[in-house]
Amino acid sequence: MLDILIIGGGPIGLACGLAAQKSGLSFVIIEKGTLVNSLYNYPSTMTFFSTSEKLEIGGVPFVTTHTKPNRADALEYYRRVALSNNLPIHLFEEVTGVKPEDGHYMITTKKDIYRAKKVILSTGFYDIAVNLDIPGEDLPKVKHYYQDPHYYTLQKVVVVGSSNSAIDVALETYRKGADVTLVIRDSEVSHRVKYWVRPDIINRIKEGSIKAYFNSNLEAVRETEVDIKTPDGLITIPNDFVMAMTGYKPNFEFLKKLGIILSEDKFIPQYNPETMETNMPGLYLAGVVCGGLDTHLWFIENSRIHADMIITDIMAGR
């Protein structure tokens, strides 16, 4: 029987593995995709807000020549951390159930069955997109994930949202020759946008290079056009692609299935902030999954401490 089974092979899941390894605990990390799967699915041009030292885990230095690390830097760093420490990681193996059983947990995956005294859930929030719930959202031209701007050259692109992901998509596709329209439900570009990017998008909007509809919502999508509800009424514009950068959310149904209690408003899971243990004894949370719908609450840099908090609590109970 394992001391710990860690669900999620992202940066915080790896941090939990490193902390467990240093304490001499037996463990396995189970990841349903590739290593640091969420980071792998980030846009190829993505640059982190944080500096490299704030993304370090397990005391392993993150060395890069860039002031702000990019996606490639992060993938290289976390891969080297995992491989150089020989962390036991099972990739492309999805967990389907976690069941309490005689003081421990039985964990079922699509490939195997495990038993562990403790379980750490560090599954992030990038796997499930927040839907617009409008007609036409299921058309292939509507994208919730974005990889590279070249694909949208000479296309009429509508970008929904005003946070970092939406603004990055708008600027990058515009600079690759797309005709870009932003649809923003608020009255201005979000102040969460990276400080070196926000002036850029504001200036592009002012000069008319990128069209922006504020206090507006996308109402419907069709094969060659979209409807936008604006303060001046409903307008219809030609369109080739819709980039719905509306955010992502944790798998709340999976959390409920495990018996974790969620708040009624923002679906914040119940846990002890000093130990990270949930209402299910021996089942811990780590990383952004702790924030429920408030996915801006936890990041790598402020949740990597969860690993030491959890392992300290587990060791204290031995």
Q: pLDDT tens digit string along 218-275?
A: 999 999 999 999 999 999 999 999 999 988 888 888 999 999 999 988 889 999 999 9
Share of the chain above pLDDT 70, in %: 100
Residue with tokens 């996308």: 218
User: How high is the pLDDT of residue 126?
Assistant: 73
User: How high is the pLDDT of residue 185?
Assistant: 95
What is the DSSP pairing of strand 113-121 with strand 211-213? unpaired
User: How high is the pLDDT of residue 62?
Assistant: 94
**What is the spatial distance between Cα 157 and Cα 168, in angstroms, rounded to a whole number?**
13
**What is the spatial distance between Cα 233 and Cα 213, in angstroms, rounded to a whole number?**
11
Question: What proportions of the chain, in percent to the nearest 5, are helix, strand and coil?
Answer: 25, 25, 45
Q: pTM, whole model, 2 decimals? A: 0.86
**What is the spatial distance between Cα 121 and Cα 103, in angstroms, rounded to a whole number?**
18
The list of the chain residues with pLDDT below 70 reads none
**What is the spatial distance between Cα 278 and Cα 120, in angstroms, rounded to a whole number?**
10
Yes or no: say if 214 and 184 are a contact pair by the CB < 8 Å rule. yes
Question: Which two tokens mark 238?
Answer: 């030609």
Residues paired with residue 105 on neighbouring β-strands, in sequence order: 100, 116
Yes or no: say if 114 and 277 are a contact pair by the CB < 8 Å rule. no
Yes or no: say if 91 and 8 are a contact pair by the CB < 8 Å rule. no
SS3 call for 253: helix
**What is the spatial distance between Cα 180 and Cα 171, in angstroms, rounded to a whole number?**
8
Q: pLDDT tens digit string along 199-219?
A: 999 999 999 999 999 999 999
Q: Count Cβ atoms within 10 A of the Cβ of residue 208 and give its class: 0-12 exposed, 13-18 middle, 19 or more buried.
A: exposed
Question: Which two tokens mark 34?
Answer: 């590739």
User: How high is the pLDDT of residue 45?
Assistant: 85
User: How high is the pLDDT of residue 186?
Assistant: 94
Share of the chain above pLDDT 90, in %: 79
**What is the spatial distance between Cα 230 and Cα 158, in angstroms, rounded to a whole number?**
14
**What is the spatial distance between Cα 9 and Cα 29, in angstroms, rounded to a whole number?**
6
What is the DSSP pairing of strand 248-249 with strand 128-129? antiparallel
User: How high is the pLDDT of residue 292?
Assistant: 82
Q: Count Cβ atoms within 10 A of the Cβ of residue 30 and give its class: 0-12 exposed, 13-18 middle, 19 or more buried.
A: buried
